[in-house]
Structure 1
Amino acid sequence: MPTVCTSIKVSRDGQFILAAGTYKPRVRCYDTYQLSLKFERCLDSDVVTFEILSDDYSKIVFLHCDRYVEFHSQGGHYYKTRIPKFGRDFSYHYPSCDLYFVGASSEVYRLNLEQGHFLNSLQTNAAENNVCDINPVHHLFATGTSEGRVECWDPRVRNQVGILDCALSSLTEGTEVQGLPSISALKFNGSLSMAVGTSTGQVLLYDLRSNQPLLVKDHFYNLPIKSLNFHHQMDLIMSADSKIIKIWNKDTGKLFSSIQPQTDINDVCMYPNSGMLFTANEDPKMNTFYIPALGPAPRWCSFLDSLTEELEETPESTVYDDYKFVTRKDLENLGLSHLVGSSLLRAYMHGFFMDIRLYHKVKTMANPFAYEEYRKDKIRQKIEESRTQRVQVKTLPKVNKNLALKLMEEGDEEAKVASRKKKGKAVPSILGDDRFKVMFENPDFQVDEQSEDFRLLNPIVSKVEQKRKKKLRLLAKHAAAAQQAAEDEEELEGKASSEEDSSDDDKSWVEEVREQRRLIWQEGRDRRRQERKEADRNTVLLEEEQNEGGETSNMAESNKRQPQFYQLKAGEEFTSFNNMARKQKMQKVSLEDRLKLEENSGTNNMVDTAVGSKQLTFTLKKSEQQRKQQQAEREHHQERKKLRRSAGHLSSGRGRGWGGRGRGRGRGRGRY
């Protein structure tokens, strides 16, 4: 259907399936032998219900929502007439060729198709009639009223033969009384059985010889029953409301199966002598279900039997059957972290699947009072709901109090601004929206103000809130000025926005974010340091346990119990005291002198004894000019070594000068 399918039926010969829907209103006929659409006819108004009078599609009667009754033949539209009141259902009496119409009236209208005119109506005791049906054996006519009664009439004498009150019988122990239930569905089975569906979701099974129901079946959805069908081969009843289809035993009421489509159900039709059923629902596509346990597939789709046989031969169990999804955090809370990697847990995405029975068992052992706490919370919620009719005091909720207080303040300011403005309207607050009320009731939605994300975002959010409040004050100020000076409101709002833009240069929130980042880093460092201390302490305790026994172990244990100010670890290298003294002297020398002394080694190592075993290693990088100069000096020294001659035989002495007498000293070189 283009939009919605309202009703669906199968012809008596089983060859044609007819469905009525909207929009635009139409009827479609499908040929099962050809597995295709045979024809489609558009109608003037929506169809409430229709009936196939012949064995095939050649005679069809439609009841429209605008009180018209339309007859169709094999060639198309045949005749149209109108009933006095809006109709809700009708039935065809084959022996007399009468159509019985029920609706928003106390009368049951009779239209004789042989004579072609209306007959005298049946006057019921009800204000309105919802549904009707005719027994296929003795042709007893029954109508269901809005007061919760079923009235039975004999078409032969046109007299009422009995009244059945179903309203009080439909109330079970767990049923909530919300007005008088009305009859929403009615179906005969054989000559003595009748099923009645109520608007509160109960199905009552009656024997016509008794005024008490044989069985009451509750759907527990509190929705009107829309369809009732009998499965004669297995003595089952198929009842459907807008949410679910339930198949149950008519003698014991035991549930056989249930079907819950994704969309609301309007009508259900079973294909005769098979396990196939069709649903008309609030969706363009009409659903088809096949249950092999109810019967074989129709002969026009016998291939379904071979498909189901193949599925039975190769059963496949899915991961989700009777399993509970848990995360690693849930396993830690339950104390089941040691099961990771075992066959009891199946890894899936960011968690695991575990057997639901094991989960409930461990959950009960971990918190045996969980049910009591849950029960107390539910009782507290019921009490709080009952107090809503009393005089309410403006109090903060138990969850997210700071957020609620901020929203209340913003709502008050917006209301003040809206009251001052001429054309303003207050925006509804989150506190008054039912979609967000769980956020202030369920503790699972509590905002963790100590989390890293909140602390990093809070300065930005607070700054935005300050700007927002400032904007509201400016708007209120200019709105008041507009009322006094009768100026243009839009111009004033433009000025307010310009002033707001001028204040956007304030970047103080950046410093707050940096401060929060620094605090978070410092807390993480302290936490890691504490974890390292705990790990070292656990290591020492483990060594003490391993060294127990013997006198040596006792002495070691006594020594370890004393406070230790140092600890030797494997892999550390220690130098002698002379090296330590030399390094202490080197620390007093300037960095330039230390670099000159260690220049020949190429690398320089500096040990910071005050911090611990931290070591700083670096290599001196020289410029290209310095390297060239050093290379030139090195070549010059090598050349001088080659040219230098030995002068070890020369010694110093005294002599006279050449020009006269006197003493003098002289040095010289000579070769003898």
Structure 2
Amino acid sequence: MRGGAEVGTLHLQSGAGVPVYHITSRPAKWGVETGVRRPRTGGGRARTRRRGQHSSGTFPDGIAPTHSVQLLHDLSFPGACHRVRNTPSSTHLVAVGTYPPQVRVYEYAELGLKFERHLDAVACDVLVLEDDWRKLAMLRVDRVLEFHSQYGRHATVRIPTPGRALALHATTCDLYVAASGSQVYRLNLDEGRFLPPLHTASESNECIALNAAHSMVVCGGSGGGVEAFDPRTEPHRRAAQWSVAADATGSDADAVTAVDLSGLQLLCGTQSGWALLYDIRAGAPLAKRRMGYGVPVVSATFRHSTHAETRSATQAVLADRKCVKIWEQPERLAEAPLAAFEPPADIHHVETQFGGAGLILAACEDQPVHAYYLPALGPAPKWCAFLDHMTEELADGGIGRSAGAATDTAATAGTVYEHYKFVTRAEVAALGLNEALGTEQLQPYLHGFLMDVRAYRKAKSAAEPYAYEEWRQARLQEKLEQQREQRIRQRNAGAKRKPAETDERFAARWTHDDYVVSEDHERWRHLHPTASVRRRRERDSDEENDESDEDGEGGEEEHDDDDDDDALAAEAARLLRERERAARQRSSNALQSRRRSATLTASFSRERTHADQAADTPPTDSTGWSVDERQLPLQARLTLRAQRAASARRKHSAGV
């Protein structure tokens, strides 16, 4: 995926200096250095692979990324980034790049892109005119100054010669433009007109800087010298001049490509790769050093730190096309640097002013904007304070590795392997990867091998095609078991309980006279109106059985119930008839709704016949009562039982 939408990486670059953490959206893969051509796709022009990168996408030092991190979402350009600037309020980041030519503004509070605007030509420099992003000045390569406001492009101004760099004098609202000619153009933003330009001794001015303390303007160019102008006089008077090229190489053929002014110190960089430090009160340099690659110095800045407890308040940051070097004290420029790192692509510009934070952004000939975090220079900015926690975890885990130790130290104790899988020799044989032994796909480590996790998943799916289904079924079974355990279970109905008669706690209830139940009491007879009838029926049944046994002859004795029994029997019969009538009505309704089904009609006929003969039909359940009879009152059911018993006796006697 292009455009920086991928999750970024964080890995440690520790050399002779302090630890440097490289943060980028993805490793660079293509460039203009190695001469390996990229195939054309879709009619686009071919691009060469960037220096120090392999086709596998690993980092130049062979160190695989150790942590995933994304500094700012979509912090990249389709082609390359030319300039990156932090706003004075430290709330937004402004970057210009190509292709197509565009400017992008990122908001720190949202950790992402705020907006992007396209330009008519590539911008070689951008300047923030206010505390935030609402006023921008961009210098295009087609000799046009473009001013943007919150609503979009505000105005465009054309200059006589192609521009190189911009500088702003905030007090007078003068915008200085270093151009290819011998003049430095001045545009007053308050009056909206050009002022008399500054005339320099160089044939082409390549860089310009302005100090906010004393407002002195310095510019350097092809003549190999740096000139300083005092803006307090009109026209500006030349205050000082230094022969940088002569002091560096002894020849005036060298050009000055980078310059910065901080207080009384002047930092310069030349086209041949020399860095020099001056005191503006003296003509000889205080220190000088060769960067080592012989390529032009693209950025020379004084970085002001708030981490002065352990470091100097001002550091010197120099960057050429290949590397970035930082000195703790500018006066020690000739000594070894405090830190040095090499981005994976050619550098265009370096931004170091983040309010004293230890963050450095490098605009390179690469799609992502490469970010570097140095805890020794200061804490992480507030908007990305998570970098401090991540780097502390990396340091505690012992992940520090020197450049070039790719395989031997790749598995240091405590390292977090997010992109590798450890496999044993038995697992390699089970996956059918014996042919990969001895190749880069399997790196020996301890008693097994380290394998790329994506390749491991592919081999696992090929060797065990049904492993996922088995795992899925196991998970489903586990979920079902968990749901069964969470159900509400009923108590065992068959469990025997201790009867109350044998419980010692209720012994007095069965022996005390106050708890004796008197069946002759008026209230007991009112609560049990059919108890006397039941006792009389049982007594009569016992007498009849005794008589039949003694005589050996069958005889039918008529038993007439008293008035109460007749009333109860009549009420039971009436209720039974009502139940039967309701059952017939329900059966009729069911018959009308099921008339279209012949099989159900026959079933309903059997139910109706059963309802007609319900009085003579024996009980259908374990309680001895039919469905309709269970709905009768207790007295009616008792009466019905008495009638059935008498009928059974009559039938028995008649049969005998």
Query: When the two structures are superposed, what TM-score results if normalisation uses the length of structure 2?
Result: 0.48
Higher RCO, 1 or 2 (CA under 8 Å, sep at least 6)? 2
Between Structure 1 and Structure 2, which shows a larger proportion of helix residues?
1
